[in-house]
Structure 1
Amino acid sequence: MGHKFAEIAFTPGVQRMQERMGSRRGYARLLGGDAHHDRLGPSEAEFIGARDSFYIASVSETGWPYIQHRGGPKGFLRVLDERTIGFADFSGNRQYVSVGNIAGDDRISLFLMDYPNRTRLKIPGHAREIGHCDADLERLSVPGYCARVERGLLVKVAAFDWNCPQHITPRYTAEEIEAANAC
């Protein structure tokens, strides 16, 4: 039981490295106690809903990790309930690497950044594609955004972890810079 992200991420090999580097004792306590960090709360929902982009990692049939950027207007990534995130997947470069990988292995990891506030949220989960005939796709629509929706992706959250701000360089969007200079 305990911290669900630690259960997923702290494999025996990771634990051996933590022991070797002297951090194991501090992280070992995360694995005990009641299950936590497996259901999104209000602060996670607010953070997720404010993103206009994120990174998604999938696993290929050959075992190689693959990371891809996804973007859209703020709010296109949505918390549907405490264990489910969804987003409309817009037409892009037509390589279909992520969705092809997900068809073979549904394990993914989302990496969400807030550069100005030096905050990041990591979310491993299980993804499934939904098509235009699925009623859930309507919940993921983004009115007024002109990109073509190819599919939706629903992610069952397995765990999450907030990460420290150390080494995150603040970066700002053009919209954020314009708003700051408008004062």
Structure 2
Amino acid sequence: MSTRYAHIAFSPAAVERQRSTGSFTVYGSKLDQPDEGPMEFDFRAQGFVKSVDSFFMSTVTPDGWPYVQHRGGPRGFLHVLGPNRIGFADLPGNQQFVTLGNLEENNRISLFVIDYPTRTRLKIYGRAHVIEADEDPELLQQLLQVPGGTMTAKAQRSIVVEVEAFDWNCSRNITPRFDKERMDESLALARQPLQAEVDRLTAEVEELRARLSKNE
């Protein structure tokens, strides 16, 4: 496992708390090893990123205040563009442009990607690049593609994140929630054995009716 996440996330104060609680051997001890540089997504991380329909991202204002923003779209709107590169189309919002303004000053970004049904979450550190639509229209068109077709929202730019590090978080305290798509999938699976039994019983009834008809 790469040590990059530890070198980014664990400050001296965090390490001291890890020492006092006994978690240092699991986490902070990674700082004793050299920083191995940017991490690359493995197969699991790639699949997870491509499967979500929302995430939270955080930037920092010039005064040092964190700013968290939610982004959502059709499943698959967050794209894996390379081993350590992800991207998405910047869809219209409330026009405050706080995230974009922060990125002009400091391109560091953190993404918190969560899937509620499976209680899975992935934390990502990276550096974001804002690419206006007229600078690379082909990239924007690529990011507008999702498994169900092309998003119709008028996006003005692409945001590409060069991933520095990522880490899987524990599932503790995540309440499972299911959207309509997941519920429909679950209900369809639940109906299959019931429908098979109904079909069997229907065929049996029809057979019995046919026998009775012959005996009359």
TM range (shorter): over 0.9
CA contact (8 A) 2:37 2:164 kept: no
**Matching residue of 2:76:** 75
1:150 is displaced (CA, Å) by 2.0
State the TM-score, normalized to the length of structure 1.
0.92
Question: Which of the pair has the greater relative contact order for Cα pairs under 8 Å at 6+ separation?
Answer: 1
Give the CA deviation at 1:96.
Answer: 1.0
Q: CA deviation at 1:33?
A: 6.5
Q: Work out the number of aligned pairs and report it.
A: 183
- Please list every run of at least 4 consecutive aligned residues from structure 1 whose deviation after the TM superposition is greater than 4 angstroms: none
Whether the aligned pair in 1 keeps the contact of 2:85 and 2:163 (CA below 8 Å) is: yes
Q: What CA RMSD, in Å, does the superposition of the two structures yield over aligned residues?
A: 1.9
From the superposition, tell whether residues 34 and 61 of structure 1 become closer, same or farther in structure 2 (CA, over 3 Å): closer
> How far did 1:37 drift?
7.2
Question: Which position in structure 2 is the counterpart of 1:27?
Answer: 27
Counterpart residue type for residue 91 of structure 2: F
Return the index of the structure with the highest Cα Rg.
2
Aligned position for 1:106 = 107
* Matches of 2:105 and 2:11, distance apart in 1: 23
Indicate if the aligned counterparts of 1:2 and 1:33 stay in contact, CA closer than 8 A. Answer: no
Q: Give the Cα–Cα distance (whole angstroms) in 2 for the partners of residues 82 and 66 of structure 1.
A: 27
1:170 aligns with 2:176: yes
Which piece of structure 1 moves more, 154-163 or 172-181? 172-181
Structure 2: 5+ residue runs without aligned partners? Answer: 192-216
- Structure 1 position 30, deviation (Å): 2.7
The residue that corresponds to 2:164 in the other structure is 158
Give 1:147's match in structure 2, choosing from 148, 153, 173. Answer: 153
Q: Residue 141 of structure 2: which of 126, 129, 138 is its match?
A: 138
Q: Corresponding residue for 1:94?
A: 95
Q: Does 1:84 align with 2:90?
A: no
What residue number does 2:196 align with?
none
